[in-house]
Amino acid sequence: MLLNSWLSFARRNLFATGVRRVNRSGFQQKARLEPLEERRLLAVNALVINSDNYERFTNLAGGLVVNNASMTGYDALVIQGISLTPTSGEGVTIDLTGIPLQRLAFDSVNVESGNRIGINIDLTGVTGLQSVAFDNVDSTKTGYGLDLLFNNTDTDSLVVQDSRFGGIKVAASAGADIRNGLISNNLIDAPAGVEGILLDVQTVNGQISTADGFRIENNARISTRDRDAIKVTAGSYVDATTRDTVTALNGLTITGNTLSAGSAAGADVAFRAEGDTFVQPFNLTNTSVRGDLLQTFVFDLRDIGLVFDADPQTGKPFTAVNGTGGLTGVSSSVLSNNNQTLTVTFTDFNPGETLQFLLDIDLVGNIPASIFGNQLIGADVTFNYTQNKQIVGQMAGDPDRKSASQFLPGAAAAGLANGINLSATAVPLRNVAVTGNTITGSQGYGVYLNSLTYSDITGIIEDNQISGSGRDGIRVSMSDSRFAGGIFDNNIANNGGVGINLLPVTTASGRVQNVAGGRSGAPFVVTSSNHGLQTGQEVILQGIQDG
C-alpha cells in the first residue's frame, strides 16, 4: 500500500513537472513505457516517514526533525499521512547540507505549531535534486506555514499544490536555480507579520540565483493581515564598468489568483438587493474565512435620497424572515432620527450564515414608491467584525440583474500591504505576466511594480479585477529603470489613490563636462558612451552664447 501510494504521488507530481514531453504524433504512449517509469521510481531509495514510524524522528516537543544523519543510506525523502502538534518549536524541521538527494515529497501532512513556523526546510549545497513536491498539506495554524530555502541548491521542479498554508516563503540564494516552480490551487491565510506568498531570489557577483518560469496561479484565496499577498523580490549587482545586470526571473507568471492584503483580510461579506424591496428580502451572508463573526451592519441611504419606512401601517419595519434572525443572532435593529440609517447588531453571526430581511424603503419625505434593488446603487454600507475588522463600501450595479444591486468594498485604509508586489534591484524582469487576478481591499497598492537600479521590466498586466485598495490600483515605480509592456483590460475601481500611476525617476545628477567651446564643423557632441548616460536621464545645456 505504501509503495502504491508513493508511485501514484510521484507520477502525479514529480515526473509530470519536469521537462514537458510533447507527443507530436497524436498517438497515445504505449502502456509498455509505464513499467520503465516504475523501475525508475523504485530505483529511488527513499526514507518514508509515515504514521507507523514518525515518532522515531520527533523531538521532545513533538516536532519532526530530519537531518543528514537521518538520510544516511537514502537518496529521497517522503513524508506522508501524519499529523503533528508540537508543544514548542517548529512542526517540521529539515536541515540537509552537502548531501545528494533526488526527491523530497510531502503528501497528506497536517501541522499545527501555534505562531511558529509549520514546515521549515533548509537545503544547503544539496546535489542531484530532481523534484520537491507538496500535496494535500495543511499547515495553517502556524506562523509561516512553509519556509523553504534553496541555498546553493538546484532543483528541476518545485510544486506546491492543493494545500492550505499560513503563508509560503521560497528563497533562492548563493547560486541556487529553481526550475519549473509552481504554486497552484492552494488556500493561504497568513497571520500577522507574514506574506501570503514570498518568492525571494538573490544574486551576488559570481553566484547567480534564478527562478525562471516560476508560476503562481489559480490559488483560490491568498489573504494576509498586514503584509503583501504576493511578494516577489529579486536582488543582484551592477557591473561597475559596463553597468550590466543579470536576469534572474524570466517568465514570471502570476495568474488567476484571488487576493486580499490588509487588516480586514479574511473578513468578507456578500450583500445584495434584488427586485422590489417591499416583497423580496435583502440577503446578507457572512463569507469570512478566518472565523470572524459579523457584529454590526450599517445601511446608509442619505446619499441617494431615500428613507426607510418602518411604520407598520404605511410601510414595513425591519423583519428577519425564514428563521434567519435567530440563526444569525439578531439582537437589535435601530433607525436614525431621519430614518435614513439602519444599524443591525448581532450576537452570533457566524461565517457561512445568511440573514434575509424585509424593510420598506420610500422616497425622501415619506413619499410612497416601489424601490427596486438597482435604485439602491450608491448607498453606503459598513460591516464590523470581531478582531476589530471593518469593511466599508457602497452598493453597486449587478451586470447580470438589471433590477439588483450588490455590495462592493470601498478603498481600505491606506497602509503598506499590497496585493501583488514585484520588487527588483539590479535585476531585469523579462516577460512578466500578471493576468486574471482578483485583488480586493489591499491596504497598499493593488499591483505594485518597484524597479530600482537598471531593473527594466517587460511584460503585461492584463484582465485583473482591482478594487478597494488603500492606495493606487496599479503603481509602476521606476528608478533608473524602464517598463516596456502593456497595461490593458483591467477593471480598476474604488481605490484610494489613482487607477494607474506611472512614476519614472532618475537618480543621476551633477555636471557632466565643462566645454570651452564648440563651433560649426567642430561641434560638441553628447553621447551615452562618452558621458555615461542612461535612457531616461535628462541633459541640460547651460551658458550657451552666440559668438
**Reported confidence tier of residue 535, pLDDT bands at 50, 70, 90:** low
Is residue 57 within 8 A of residue 64, CB to CB? The reply is: yes
Site of grid cell 441611504? 301
Neighbouring residues of 374: CB distance < 8 A, sequence distance ≥ 6: 397, 398, 402, 403, 404, 405
* Domain coordinates in residue numbering, the chain: 43-263+416-504, 269-409
- How many angstroms separate the CA atoms of 265 and 390, rounded? 10
The residue among 454 and 244 whose pLDDT is bigger is 454
**pLDDT of residue 486 exceeding 90:** yes
The residue among 532 and 206 whose pLDDT is bigger is 206
Residues in the chain: 547
pLDDT of residue 240: 63
390 DSSP β-pair partners: 384
pLDDT of residue 16: 44
CATH fold for domain 269-409: Immunoglobulin-like (2.60.40)
Is residue 86 within 8 A of residue 143, CB to CB? The reply is: no
Mean pLDDT across 165-175: 96
- Residue 358, burial from CB neighbour count under 10 angstroms (0-12, 13-18, 19+): middle
- How many angstroms separate the CA atoms of 343 and 282, rounded? 14
Q: Helix or strand or coil: residue 133?
A: strand
Mean pLDDT across 226-239: 89
- DSSP secondary-structure letter at 20? P
**Secondary-structure percent of the chain, ordered helix, strand, coil, rounded to 5:** 10, 45, 45
- How many angstroms separate the CA atoms of 233 and 422, rounded? 6
pLDDT of residue 77: 97
**pLDDT of residue 504 exceeding 90:** no
- How many angstroms separate the CA atoms of 122 and 148, rounded? 6
Instruction: List helix spans (H) across 268-349.
Output: 324-328
pLDDT of residue 26: 38
Angle between helix axes 33-42 and 2-13 (nearest 10 degrees) is: 110
- How many angstroms separate the CA atoms of 131 and 75, rounded? 12
**pLDDT of residue 21 exceeding 60:** no
**Reported confidence tier of residue 411, pLDDT bands at 50, 70, 90:** low
- Name the average pLDDT for the chain: 85
pLDDT of residue 397: 87
**pLDDT of residue 28 exceeding 70:** no
**pLDDT of residue 485 exceeding 80:** yes
Would the CA dihedral through 393, 441, 140, 257 be positive or negative?
positive
Residue 326, phi then psi, degrees to nearest 5: -70, -35
Percent of the chain with pLDDT over 90: 58
Mean pLDDT across 452-465: 92
DSSP 379-415: -EEEEEEGGG-EEEEEEEEETTEEEEEEEEE-PPPP-
pLDDT of residue 35: 47
pLDDT of residue 42: 47
Tell me the residue type at 519.
Answer: R
pLDDT of residue 522: 65
Is residue 118 within 8 A of residue 165, CB to CB? The reply is: yes
- How many angstroms separate the CA atoms of 277 and 273, rounded? 7
Tell me the residue type at 27.
Answer: F
Is residue 142 within 8 A of residue 166, CB to CB? The reply is: yes
pLDDT of residue 54: 96
Write down the number of H helices and E strands in the chain.
Answer: 4, 42
**pLDDT of residue 52 exceeding 90:** yes
Mean pLDDT across 442-462: 91
**Reported confidence tier of residue 298, pLDDT bands at 50, 70, 90:** very high
Around Cβ 212, how many Cβ atoms within 10 Å? 18
Around Cβ 200, how many Cβ atoms within 10 Å? 19
Please write the tens of the pLDDT for every residue from 111-161: 998 778 999 999 999 999 999 999 999 998 878 899 999 999 999 999 999
Q: pTM for the whole thing?
A: 0.75
pLDDT of residue 150: 98
CA distances in angstroms from 16 to 21, 112, 450, listed in the order given:
9, 30, 34
pLDDT of residue 402: 87
- Residue 430, burial from CB neighbour count under 10 angstroms (0-12, 13-18, 19+): middle
**pLDDT of residue 329 exceeding 50:** yes
Burial state string for 363-400 with b = 16 or more CB within 10 A and e = fewer than 16: eeeeeeeebbbbbbbebbbbbbbeeebebbbbbbebee
**Which of 29-43, 349-363, 422-436, 446-460 is predicted least confidently?**
29-43
How many CA atoms does the CB half-sphere of 128 hold within 13 Å? 11
CA distances in angstroms from 459 to 127, 198, 248, 485, listed in the order given:
33, 20, 15, 5
Please write the tens of the pLDDT for every residue from 60-89: 999 999 999 999 999 999 999 999 999 999
**pLDDT of residue 462 exceeding 90:** yes
